[in-house]
Amino acid sequence: MTEELRGTARKMVERGKGLLAADESTGSAGKRLAAVGVASTLETRRQYRDLFLSARGVDAYLSGVILFDETMRQRADDGTPFPERLARQGILPGIKVDQGRVPLPDHPGETATQGLGGLEQRLAEYRALGARFCKWRAAFPIAEHLPSPEAIFANTEALAQYAQICHAQGLVPIVEPEVLMDGDHDLATAERVTGLVLRALFDALDGYGVDLSAVILKTSMAVSGSLDARPAGPEEVGEATARLLRDHVPPDTAGVVFLSGGEPPVRETEFLNAVARRGPFPWPVTFSFARALQGPTLEIWRGRAENVEAARAVFLRRLELDALASLGLYEGE
């Protein structure tokens, strides 16, 4: 099984391709729809997913898609279950398996991600539905005295336990320790805090005996806070992120994918390109974006059938640009 897992992990970070994070919860998907004037129902959320998952040509740029539980059980317009439709195109179906964040006791402003209870049974069901990899997210705010050692420990321990369980169930884990960009912190602070989190994460994975050759790291780039008076540009972000990864990600890790973290689509593409140009690295580097890929498409679609093809064209163009950026070949819009 280990060699099968390693093969899946290698395909997830295939050169020139990335992962689409289409795993927003029902509430988050509702917010995305509301922003473009569409009511959130079971059917409109299915249409929203189909807009991306049934676009012709996505297999040229996507190696996998992270789904939400609801989407894993839904069907495309042609009646094909979404996981099957993706698999037919050579795209790996994945699934978000954490069950959200709850306040961390005695630590105001910090959270712990829940979902370890019953995880083995849920993973077995998802694998039967077609999933080949999973994702678990923890979030770390930067503020005075935050993140605390206790929050880092609680969340990285949970990520390591989750990864161990995934391997036992024949699924590749994506471990996502997101350092949030909210706040007025500068680039150096973002790099330092992200480094602390990554060091704790890989220590925890090692402690649980997790085979890193079948683990994908999904991480924030080193980016200054959204309220920083002097936001860092692509070259600064590229330099700091490349240094961060080389300092803290073990060379036997299967791959690194970046989250978009709410950055504007063009800016995130520029950041990714700047990191990729500082390679080669010991592991493949690519993208796992959500809003940076979906936002421009939703603005055109707005729930109208007559806008589907135009919206998909924008999606494919954004995918193409991010694929080029993952190779360091992006030259602008």
Average pLDDT over residues 210-233: 91
Give catalytic residue positions: 176, 218
Q: Report whether pLDDT(164) > 90.
A: yes
User: What's residue 30's pLDDT?
Assistant: 94
User: What's residue 42's pLDDT?
Assistant: 96
Helix or strand or coil: residue 96?
strand
Calpha distance 199→207 (Å, rounded): 12
Q: Report whether pLDDT(229) > 80.
A: no
pLDDT digits (tens, 9 = 90+) for 175-186: 999 999 998 899
Tell me the DSSP string of 212-226. Answer: GGG-EEEE------T
The CATH label, of 1.10.3720.10, 3.40.50.1260, 3.20.20.70, 2.70.70.10, for the domain at 2-326 is 3.20.20.70
| pLDDT band at 157; cut points 50, 70, 90 | very high
- What is the three-state SS of 223-270? CCCCCCCCCCCHHHHHHHHHHHHHHHCCCCCCEEEECCCCCCHHHHHH
Partners of 202 in beta bridges:
none
User: What's residue 294's pLDDT?
Assistant: 93
Q: Across the chain, what does the average pLDDT equal?
A: 96
User: What's residue 1's pLDDT?
Assistant: 64
Domain range list for the chain = 2-326
Average pLDDT over residues 145-174: 98
pLDDT digits (tens, 9 = 90+) for 85-143: 999 999 999 999 999 999 999 999 999 999 999 999 999 999 999 999 999 999 999 99
Calpha distance 147→162 (Å, rounded): 21
Q: Report whether pLDDT(33) > 80.
A: yes
Calpha distance 286→189 (Å, rounded): 24
pLDDT digits (tens, 9 = 90+) for 95-106: 999 999 999 999
Share of the chain above pLDDT 70, in %: 99
CA 314 from chain center: how many Å? 20
Calpha distance 103→263 (Å, rounded): 25
Q: Would you say how long the chain is, in residues?
A: 333
Tell me the DSSP string of 27-66. Answer: HHHHHHHHTTT----HHHHHHHHHHHHT-TTGGGTEEEEE
Share of the chain above pLDDT 90, in %: 93
pLDDT digits (tens, 9 = 90+) for 261-310: 878 999 999 999 999 999 999 999 999 999 999 999 999 999 999 999 99
